[in-house]
Structure 1
Amino acid sequence: MGDLFQPWHLAILAIIVIVLFGGKKLPELGKGLGEGLRGFKEGMKGVTDEMNNKPAETTHAVTPKPEESVK
């Protein structure tokens, strides 16, 4: 199996996309795709920041309530 994305493959793919969606919809699709990728990138940045800023091994001590004696 040769290179997957050669120039002819990309040209044929571009022609198919233009035929399917038309010239007027392409800018809207590009904008939506760009916003989606930007949101994904910001979300991943937030996850990696949380992982890097996480304190090492935080434990929480839980003290039980004292039991009441029944008379």
Structure 2
Amino acid sequence: MNIGMSGLLIIVFIALLIFGPKKLPELGKATGRTLREFKNATKGLVDEHDDVIEKNNKIEKS
């Protein structure tokens, strides 16, 4: 999905109309926090999965 610059400007304009200029920075911060937490949780799951696979490989080699 390729939005492009014009599509991005339309989205920002609509967001300004809906939420107003005062609420937009708060929404941006909340979105950033949410994405950061999601990334950390996903990384934890991937690390846990890799540990289990590594442990299974060690057991199979023994």
The question of a shared fold, defined as TM-score above 0.5 by the shorter chain, is answered with: yes
Counterpart Cα distance in 2 of 1:13 and 1:6: 11
How many residues matched? Answer: 56
Give the equivalent residue in structure 2 for 1:21: 19
Report the aligned-residue RMSD: 1.9
Give the equivalent residue in structure 2 for 1:56: 56
Runs ≥4 residues deviating over 3 A: none
Higher relative contact order (CA 8 A, sep 6+): 2
% identity of equivalent residues:
39
* TM-score w.r.t. length of structure 2: 0.77
More helix as a share of residues: 2
1:35 paired to 2:33: yes
Note the C-alpha offset of 1:11. Answer: 1.4
Give the equivalent residue in structure 2 for 1:61: none
User: What are the Cα deviations for residues 18-50 of structure 1, in whole angstroms up to 9, with x where unaligned?
Assistant: 010001101110010000000000000100110
* TM-score w.r.t. length of structure 1: 0.68
